[in-house]
Amino acid sequence: MGHKAVGLINGMIPHIDFENSYLGYLDAHRELNKPIHPRALVQLDHNLPRSISPDVTEVSAWICTYLEAVNVVGEKCRAAGLAIPQDVSVLSLDDPGDAPYPAIGKALSVERIDFDATAALIQDILNNWLDQRRGSLIAVPSIRIDRGTIAPPRCEATEAANEP
């Protein structure tokens, strides 16, 4: 069984990447026929990242479209006594690299552009140009890098058995 609620902390919609993240989030819920938790969508309308307040107790997995959102999720988890990924999973669309990310104390799992595949795609387009491609949109390949901040949700039966 997956997470009951997956949240999205998203930057301002006028940025095409944030718009695509928002639309993808909505599409995924529609395709899976799953409701969006009332506290699972945190959408910035101004560049005020410190004003966001993700609910890490009700939403057990967060997709963060920018690194400042990861900082806030880390702070909220510490304040609630929750651990990443044991209690809350975090996936970032910004990639700070393999080093531990200070806000969460460990390397951050990410979904980002696959640089090698994108370079190969561009080389193929340049070397094998076809006029039929003119004006077409080409999807940039992505890759998920699991660095240990994503985990299945805790089983409620296991939690109940471990309570005093």
Residue 46: per-residue pLDDT: 66
Residue 18: per-residue pLDDT: 87
Q: Which amino acid is at 81?
A: G
Contacts of residue 58, defined as CB under 8 A and 6 or more positions apart, other chains included, come to 5, 37, 39
pTM: 0.82
Q: Which amino acid is at 105?
A: G
d(CA 129, CA 124): 8
Kindly give the confidence (pLDDT) of every residue in the chain, 164 residues in length, as a single tens digit, with 9 standing for 90 and above. Answer: 588 899 999 888 778 888 899 999 999 999 999 999 999 999 887 656 557 889 999 999 999 998 889 999 999 999 999 999 999 999 999 899 999 999 899 999 999 989 999 999 989 888 888 777 778 878 888 999 999 999 998 875 445 445 55
Residue 157: per-residue pLDDT: 43
What are the structural domains of the chain? 6-113+143-157 (3.40.50.2300)
Cβ neighbours around 114 below 10 Å, total:
15
The single-letter DSSP state of residue 94 is: S
CA angle (34, 68, 100) in 5-degree steps:
100
Q: Which amino acid is at 109?
A: S
